[in-house]
Amino acid sequence: MLRSSAQIFAALGDETRLRLIAVLCAGSAMSIAQLTAGTEITRQSVTQHLQVLANAGLVRDVKVGRERLWAFEPAHLEEARRALDAISQQWDHALLRLKAAVEE
């Protein structure tokens, strides 16, 4: 599970990509023009960031007529959340073992 989540965490490790995910989570599918509106980021840069997110399975593109829209894909993010939960449980167990060792 951790190995398959590594690409997701790497994709989300960039501030621009994290912002794109936040925007796409808040609404419906959006075009690159909509995603760049009101920002200083170029369409080319957003396209590259969206491709990284798509490779990680976090977004998908949909053709609507001549327009290409991007939408959030929550399934892989859920996978990453499960990986973080597993790590959290491992830490909890390690801390309990440490506490028991210290108390002995």
1 versus 93: the higher-pLDDT residue is 93
Tell me what percent of the residues of the chain surpass a pLDDT of 90: 43
**pLDDT at site 2:** 60
The structural domain count of the chain equals: 1
- Straight-line distance from the first to the last Cα atom of the chain, in angstroms, rounded to the nearest whole number: 35
Q: What is the mean pLDDT of residues 69-83?
A: 85
Summarize pLDDT for 13-27 with one digit per residue, the tens.
899 999 999 999 988
Tell me what percent of the residues of the chain surpass a pLDDT of 70: 96
pTM of the full structure: 0.77
Domain membership of residue 61 as a residue range: 2-103
Q: What is the CATH number of the domain that holds 23?
A: 1.10.10.10
Listed residue (78, 74, 73) closest to 62, CA to CA: 73
